[in-house]
Chains A and B, each alone.
Chain A
Amino acid sequence: MSSFSALKILPSHPIAGEYRRHSSPFHAAPASRLLRSSGANYLSSTSSVTAAGRPVRVLSANVVSNEKQIGSALAAITSKEALDLYEDMVLGRSFEDMCAQMYYRGKMFGFVHLYNGQEAVSTGFIRLLTARDTVVSTYRDHVHALSKGVPARAVMAELFGKTTGCCRGQGGSMHMFSREHNLIGGFAFIGEGIPVATGAAFSSKYRREVLKENCDDVTIAFFGDGTCNNGQFFECLNMAALWKLPIVFVVENNLWAIGMSHFRATSDPEIWKKGPPFGIPGVHVDGMDVLKVREVAKDAVARARRGDGPTLVECETYRFRGHSLADPDELRNPDEKARYSSRDPIATLKKYVLEHNLVSESELKAIDKKIDELVEEAVEFADSSPAPPRSQLLENVFADPKGFGIGPDGKYRCEDPGFTQGTAQV
């Protein structure tokens, strides 16, 4: 597989135009024709082979899978944007690397799912959003939180289980929330965030149409390839399309659900094709390339903001590490890993912005240093923060603590300081 070339991300006609061809459900067919006309049956268009000897499709295509260049992404990226994208991806990578270190040093516990390799998807989408837009994530949520603006120290403290964490230490790695930054989860079960995201989008539409507010907030739901075989995914595609909700469904297809290969679990592995049967445009994009992701994201977010409804975006991406820090990661082929490593989104962007003289080497190094310091500071902050006291145990169980009920003495339980000190008796 050829190594990443800067030329590949220079589309030669406006993406929007090509995108519109995808946007009608009845034009889904041309994409397939284009796929076949590029000379490859999708199952054999690649050089990768699984351990079992079956050909594996590596989808490294452009947005439209012919080789026609699509529009100019160059014009859309300023130096400032380039630095912002680079910094966000480096933050994601450094933070996750630090998490691995801290985990093995016994500072964080449980299930920790790292995002290394997938940074282009988080950065590509989330850096386009406003503060009022909502992001709904999965258990692989640290970097979504960081991209959305949650301070690194708050995320790190949460991972250390400290009371200064973004969820007061009560959520942990798989439950990152931030009201201030409109990050709703962090969910441990796959798929269960998608209905919540659909609800957030419903809220936005309701506020616009019923409450007559000037609201065009968009929701982005992130989830993986494994989730796309789950009922909640399909049920929400249906409802989002039915009510034209302002939502973008983003599939981070990293080809593996723990040890289950996407191709062993899915009858039709092309996830983007599952949008059009619901009346939702489906787009496939190279998720290792932040500029391509960004172009697709722009269109999808704009579509939602206009009130034209949802989009399904399948980002082909890869996680460089195992499913979680507990995963020995023995099933994935080293060739596959090597191939994706060579398409590291950070290295790719770096090469691109330097080649096009958007930024200088020293500016990038300065960012690297800044991020290193930021992450170190986050660790120090988390380390020195206090663990939650006993009195925190029963806080936040109810928004209205009258829900603990009335005690034998006639007073509400929540008024009894003995009770709120966290006994098990209710």
Chain B
Amino acid sequence: MPRRAKLIPNAVAAKADTTTTASSADSKPGHELLLFEALREGLEEEMERDPRVCVIGEDVGHYGGSYKVTKGLATKFGDLRVLDTPIAENSFTGMGIGASMTGLRPVIEGMNMGFLLLAFNQISNNCGMLHYTSGGQFTIPVVIRGPGGVGRQLGAEHSQRLESYFQSIPGLQMVACSTPCNAKGLMKAAIRSDNPVVLFEHVLLYNLKERIPDEDYVLCLEEAEMVRPGEHVTILTYSRMRYHVMQAAKALINKGYDPEVIDIRSLKPFDLCTIGNSIKKTHRVLIVEECMRTGGIGASLRAAIIDNFWDYLDAPIMCLSSQDVPTPYAGTLEEWTVVQPAQIVAAVEQLCK
């Protein structure tokens, strides 16, 4: 199956001689919107295209979603297609799973991803496993989505990163969006996929603005995204940390480094081709993630790289993760919990010594 590496115009820093220049962006009219609007656009298009697509979650209907991703959809599609549920995550997630096994394609929203911890039973036992334990008889084409990650002083329970908890569940796919363009594309791809897909959004990225194509497009769930090609070091990241990385990249470029930045996007499975090709070129890897250090996506990614690309490494893989602490409320403490651009710069300098 031929794959083309896609260079996506990114929302922050771009390499000077990138093939996607400002002029080529102008030649495609496109339209500007914010990330949450891009998610909604993708969702709305899929709901128009396929009447079996429906939304289930708390305050998704009349309230329009706590981050406005489903705003206006209940008015357009009705209360049954955009279903306001009581506060019962485990049960309405299970309900979505049962509905998907009997012909519908629900998009289940966790008002905050952390709330889906209450649905762990259904996500692990039923969502991940039922296609297998039924011997392939039933498919579970659900999308489970919601905002997660560390926000601005939201407190420990609203600042969780569930990707590390869900990654071991067999049968589940996980993707993380980071730009309006990939948000819409991944939403559509996740809905069309016959696999259960968890789409991780980030609380702090909903208001990012970008110009996205007018024409219909769907991104590949299993592919990573090349943000900035480079020669010296491969920086693997996803979600909000992409922006900290690109901020660090500006400083690194000024210091004469040439980092290659890849937004891995597919948290499970990893796109070993894009990642591998990069490592074969640069021989140095830095992973920057928002997960906690212990058992996070970075930990798995490190293992996968060692398994597959050990011979290409000139230095040990470095991984910058959040501290293994419940996210504190105080602003200063919270800032020290997650990886900041200065740390990324220092890590690259050390890696490239």
Show the binding face of A for B, using Cβ within 8 Å. Answer: 134, 136, 165-172, 175, 177-179, 184-189, 192, 194-207, 209-211, 231-232, 235-236, 238-239, 242, 395-400, 402-413, 415, 425-426
Contact = CB atoms under 8 A, between A and B. Distances in A.
Given A206-B54, A403-B269, A239 B95 contact: yes
Given A200-B102, A210-B80, A170 B135 contact: yes
B104 A203 contact: yes
A396 B309 contact: no
B98 A202 contact: yes
The 7 tightest CB contacts between A and B, nearest first, are A199-B98, A195-B94, A405-B269, A168-B135, A196-B98, A167-B135, A177-B134
26 contacts: A175-B134, A192-B122, A195-B92, A195-B94, A195-B97, A200-B99, A202-B95, A203-B98, A203-B99, A206-B99, A210-B51, A210-B78, A231-B88, A232-B90, A232-B91, A235-B91, A238-B88, A239-B91, A242-B86, A395-B136, A396-B132, A397-B131, A400-B193, A400-B194, A403-B221, A408-B276
Contacts of A210: 51, 54, 78, 80-81
Given A195-B91, A203-B102, A406 B223 contact: yes
Contacts, number: 197
Given A232-B94, A239-B91, A400-B194, A200 B132 contact: no
A147 B58 CA distance: 37
Interface stretch (B26-34, B138-146, B287-295): B138-146
A165 B222 contact: no
B12 interface: no
B24 interface: no
Most B Cβ at <10 Å: residue of A172, A177, A201, A242? A177
B170 to A, nearest CB: 6
A206 B135 contact: no
B327 interface: no
Please tell me the size bucket of the interface on B. 35 or more
Contacts of B268: 405
A407 B273 CA distance: 6
A207 B80 CA distance: 10
Nearest to A236: B91
B101 A200 contact: yes
B266 interface: yes
A239 B58 CA distance: 13
B126 interface: yes
